[in-house]
Amino acid sequence: MTLTKDQFIRDFKDTLHEEQLIKVPQATPAELFATLAKVIRKYYTPMWLDRNRNLTENKEKIAYYFSIEFLPGRMLETNLLNLGILDLVKEGFAELDIDFEEVKNTEHDMALGNGGLGRLAAAFMDSLATTGYPGFGNGLRYRYGLFKQKIIDGYQVELPDDWFGTLGNVWEIRKDHDAVEVRLFGDVYLEMNEEGNLTPNYHNSQVLRAVPYDVPQIGFQNDVVNNLRLWDVEIPEEYEADYPTVASRRAIEDITAILYPDDSTLEGKQLRLIQEYFMTSAGLQTIIQNYLKQGLPLEAIYEKVSVHINDTHPAVAPAEFMRLLVDEYGLEWDSAWTATVKTMSYTNHTILSEALEKWDAELFKKVLPRVYQIILEIDNRFVADLGRAGYDADVVNYTRIVKDDQIHMANLAIIAGHSVNGVAKLHTELLKEDTLRSFYRLYPEKFNNKTNGIVQRRWTQIAAPELSGAIDQVIGTGWRKDIHELEGLTTYLDDKEVLDNFYQVKQDAKGRLASYIKETTGFDVSTDAIFDVQVKRLHAYKRQLLNVLHIIKLYLDLKDNPDKDMIPRVFIFGAKAAPGYHFAKSVIKIINELAKLINNDDSLQGKLKVFFLENYNVSLAELIIPAADVSEQISLASKEASGTSNMKFMMTGAITLATLDGANIEIKDEVGDDNIVIFGMDKDAVYAHYQANDYHSRDLYESDATIHRVVDSFVNGTIPNIQSEGMEIYEALIQHNDEYFLLEDFHSYVQAQEKVDALYRDKDKWARMSLNNIAKSHKFTSDDTISQYAEEIWELKK
């Protein structure tokens, strides 16, 4: 878009005046933020209208990405950057004497997700708009995002994340006219209609109103604006009388109140099922209505529509689609089925089969009686087909949807779709060989890999402006549009001046993080230390505890020998633990107590510091990641489907310290063995243990003095205030046989850490490795990942 600074300043002042009735000096940062959002909304609205009109007129095929999580973080800077007016607005603000950073920081993170899955969905929204493919998101408009984490007395405390604040979501637009109804509970009877077809009659069902709120997804400097559609729940006017009490109304509002309600109770489970169905049904109804406006035949809907199922949470989609096509629009089962399979596709994000969603048949039948019947019908036909084709009972039993009174959602997504993909090469191989092997034999053609990616613009231009400036100086600004130009940095790997400059940029980012650490914890850290970072959800398989074991070893070494020759280390953690995940919360407590012990021990001479930065979220990631020297990606090989923070660290010049897991393998393939530090068992070694059942953590503990001493420190008072948590960890490692093989990988990890220390001593070498990582990181742009989805799975046109 074309805009001048003066015009912007005029627009801004006018809006502030008209909407808030004030002038700049009186306005609070929040008022300035709200005003700025309004101004830029005016700038992009015409593009948004055009986009919707063009897609309808040209009858383009559209992909709809259904996800229970979207984790965009803050939108202001990214919207400005993508509109091409970020610098201009900053200059305008400077002229108005407004502190842009302060205004920016008043925006609440949009945290409708808890980790990689949600961040990936948000990345895909950005990349769809940027690549220009017609792709829209469908999700839920949670009133509260992922909880806000406070650390009190070392423990995680969860507070509601009231992200609407007083302003609401400044980006969204309520689309009342697009509301639809969603039906739950009750009884359903099939009756013959006049044409002689069986049609369902519903009795005593609950009818809810689903209202969409659209959030614009602005492409990078290409005038494209796509939609992220978030559904909210309301009571339909004609049913108001059914909800006479505040409590009965609250129960409805609960449907979109929180992400992942506690599902330890039956009520919690039911609520989650309702959430998933509510979003899916509302989305699919609108999709069909919009398609039919084009006057095309319903049985050919797959030619204009793709529906993508992001993990199993929206996996009720094929059954609901069948219901709509057959019951509501009168299609024959067979043509509805063909259309459904061609429309649906599914991404798996986890290797653990326990994590694939299953629903109790009883519960499902109660909440969604008609969808339940349809699932039974799909299952019956599937079993009959396999029987006719002569498959073993084993295969049938493994792959069928309904068994042991449970509904296996992944099985439904696979059977009723045409594509199943994993999120990194290794992950997809493991799906084929292990988790989904029977399906792979049945449908080899459905399986494909789409390695994850990240929005490079957010992690360089927004999160690392100094780094971006340094890149400009070396290879010009073309990389800002075409990230593959970063490869050009490889020409400068031996240019001392360039290396020094990039080293300095990293030091500056470390300085910013050091100030934040000082402000939030009171401790000074030196930027001469190695900043060693592990930020991600807290989970046993991600092995934050292995990092802790190493820190304990360093601590004990330093206590024995305060003159130990080591480069000072600052270990930085950020992680939220799921509220009901006891083990993960214990690890948080232990990290905090260990940090307290270490940070207050002057005898360590500042060689060791540990920080757990509370409330890790996208905005904090933008501060932390560019400041990392070392990126900890230490999951047990085979367990991390892909990982995406590994890509962000790489792009901002950290050296990856990793196991051969997920996308770490592909990072290694890009940078080469000399520019990454790999340790630990590979997937084959891990599987060999499973096969032979020959792992005995207690033997390692008994026979290895170092391991013995480190593990004992959880229970012998070395770390204060962790009596029960220390015991829990001790038991997990020794009594319960160390499920994620920490003790077996321990020495290899320690050696890898020693290698890091040695490498860092050679400043030029380190800077060279770092630059190499930046240069090769373009491989992991989500723009390319989404182009592969668009071309190979959804068959979209730009």
Catalytic residues: 349, 536-537, 542, 644, 648
Residue 138 CB, shortest distance to ligand 26Q, in Å, is: 17
Which parts of 174-233 interact with ligand 26Q (CB under 6 A)? none
Which parts of 400-429 interact with ligand 26Q (CB under 6 A)? 423
**Is there binding between residue 641 and ligand 26Q (CB under 6 A)?**
yes
Residue 353 CB, shortest distance to ligand 26Q, in Å, is: 12
Can you tell me which of 92, 137, 219, 643 binds ligand 26Q, judged by CB under 6 A? 643
Residue 172 or 640: the one with the smaller Cβ distance to ligand 26Q is 640
Residue 32 or 660: the one with the smaller Cβ distance to ligand 26Q is 660
Q: Which residue has the tokens 């979003």?
A: 279
**Is there binding between residue 117 and ligand 26Q (CB under 6 A)?**
yes
**x/- track of binding to ligand 26Q for residues 338-377 (CB under 6 A):** -----------xx----x-x--------------------
Residue 727 CB, shortest distance to ligand 26Q, in Å, is: 28
Residue 687 CB, shortest distance to ligand 26Q, in Å, is: 18
Distance, in Å, from the CA atom of 503 to the CA atom of 763, rounded to the nearest integer, reads 8
Residue 251 or 355: the one with the smaller Cβ distance to ligand 26Q is 355
Residue 462 CB, shortest distance to ligand 26Q, in Å, is: 21
Cβ atoms of residues 609 and 570 within 8 Å: yes
Cβ atoms of residues 573 and 544 within 8 Å: yes
Residue 66 or 260: the one with the smaller Cβ distance to ligand 26Q is 260
Cβ atoms of residues 39 and 12 within 8 Å: yes
Select from 26-34, 110-118, 317-325, 780-788 the region that touches ligand 26Q (CB under 6 A): 110-118
Residue 107 or 311: the one with the smaller Cβ distance to ligand 26Q is 311
For the record, the structure tokens of 109 come out as: 């993170």
Residue 126 or 311: the one with the smaller Cβ distance to ligand 26Q is 311
Length in residues, the chain: 798
For 595-626, b where at least 16 C-beta lie within 10 A, e where not — what string? bbbbbeeeebeebbbbbbbbbbbbbbbbbbbb
Can you tell me which of 73, 92, 116, 132 binds ligand 26Q, judged by CB under 6 A? 116
Residues ≥6 apart with Cβ < 8 Å to 735: none
Select from 207-215, 385-393, 642-650, 732-740 the region that touches ligand 26Q (CB under 6 A): 642-650
CA distances to 383, 391, 396, 534 from 388, in Å: 9, 8, 11, 52
Q: 3-class DSSP state for residue 42?
A: helix
Distance, in Å, from the CA atom of 598 to the CA atom of 519, rounded to the nearest integer, reads 19
**x/- track of binding to ligand 26Q for residues 543-582 (CB under 6 A):** ----------------------------------------
Residue 171 or 459: the one with the smaller Cβ distance to ligand 26Q is 459
Residue 654 CB, shortest distance to ligand 26Q, in Å, is: 17
Cβ atoms of residues 252 and 233 within 8 Å: yes
**Is there binding between residue 115 and ligand 26Q (CB under 6 A)?**
yes
**Is there binding between residue 659 and ligand 26Q (CB under 6 A)?**
no
Which parts of 438-457 interact with ligand 26Q (CB under 6 A)? 452
Residue 357 CB, shortest distance to ligand 26Q, in Å, is: 5
**Is there binding between residue 120 and ligand 26Q (CB under 6 A)?**
yes
Residue 327 CB, shortest distance to ligand 26Q, in Å, is: 28
Residue showing the smallest CB distance to ligand 26Q in the complex? 116
Residue 121 CB, shortest distance to ligand 26Q, in Å, is: 9
**Is there binding between residue 266 and ligand 26Q (CB under 6 A)?**
no
Which parts of 292-331 interact with ligand 26Q (CB under 6 A)? 311
Residue 402 or 771: the one with the smaller Cβ distance to ligand 26Q is 402
- DSSP code string of 470-531: HHHHHH-SGGGT-GGGGGGGGGGTT-HHHHHHHHHHHHHHHHHHHHHHHHHH-----TTSEE
Residue 641 or 743: the one with the smaller Cβ distance to ligand 26Q is 641
Select from 74-82, 112-120, 584-592, 608-616 the region that touches ligand 26Q (CB under 6 A): 112-120
Q: Which residue has the tokens 């320690």?
A: 750
Region of 73 please: left (phi>0), alpha (psi -120 to 50) or beta. Answer: left
Q: Which residue has the tokens 């063909």?
A: 338
Q: 3-class DSSP state for residue 463?
A: coil
Cβ atoms of residues 576 and 149 within 8 Å: yes
The rounded Cα 44 to chain-centroid distance in angstroms is 26
- DSSP code string of 302-327: GGTEEEEEESSTTTTHHHHHHHIIII
- The burial of 277, by beta-carbon neighbours within 10 Å (0-12 exposed, 13-18 middle, 19 or more buried), is given as buried
Residue 635 or 652: the one with the smaller Cβ distance to ligand 26Q is 635
Select from 83-91, 116-124, 243-251, 749-757 the region that touches ligand 26Q (CB under 6 A): 116-124
Residue 399 CB, shortest distance to ligand 26Q, in Å, is: 20
Select from 113-121, 207-215, 408-416, 711-719 the region that touches ligand 26Q (CB under 6 A): 113-121
Distance, in Å, from the CA atom of 362 to the CA atom of 643, rounded to the nearest integer, reads 36
For the record, the structure tokens of 382 come out as: 């599937």
Select from 111-119, 462-470, 604-612, 715-723 the region that touches ligand 26Q (CB under 6 A): 111-119
Residue 425 or 709: the one with the smaller Cβ distance to ligand 26Q is 425
**Is there binding between residue 656 and ligand 26Q (CB under 6 A)?**
no
> 421: closest CA among 367, 366, 344?
344
Distance in angstroms between the alpha carbons of the first and the last residue of the chain: 20
Residue 375 CB, shortest distance to ligand 26Q, in Å, is: 18
For the record, the structure tokens of 8 come out as: 């912007």
Q: 3-class DSSP state for residue 210?
A: strand
Select from 55-63, 369-377, 638-646, 685-693 the region that touches ligand 26Q (CB under 6 A): 638-646
- DSSP code string of 687-728: HHHHHHT---HHHHHHH-HHHHHHHHTTTSSSSTT-HHHHHH
Select from 100-108, 639-647, 678-686, 689-697 the region that touches ligand 26Q (CB under 6 A): 639-647
Can you tell me which of 156, 644, 713, 770 binds ligand 26Q, judged by CB under 6 A? 644
Residue 410 CB, shortest distance to ligand 26Q, in Å, is: 10
Residue 109 or 640: the one with the smaller Cβ distance to ligand 26Q is 640
Q: How many residues bind ligand 26Q (CB under 6 A)?
A: 18
> 323: closest CA among 271, 364, 369?
369
Can you tell me which of 642, 659, 697, 781 binds ligand 26Q, judged by CB under 6 A? 642
Region of 125 please: left (phi>0), alpha (psi -120 to 50) or beta. Answer: alpha
Distance, in Å, from the CA atom of 726 to the CA atom of 433, rounded to the nearest integer, reads 37
Residue 101 CB, shortest distance to ligand 26Q, in Å, is: 30
Beta bridge partners of 228: 137, 215
Can you tell me which of 216, 219, 662, 726 binds ligand 26Q, judged by CB under 6 A? 662
- Secondary structure percentages of the chain, helix, strand, coil, to 5: 55, 15, 30
Region of 415 please: left (phi>0), alpha (psi -120 to 50) or beta. Answer: alpha
Residue 259 or 287: the one with the smaller Cβ distance to ligand 26Q is 259
**List of residues contacting ligand 26Q (CB under 6 A):** 115-117, 120, 260, 311, 349-350, 355, 357, 423, 452, 640-644, 662
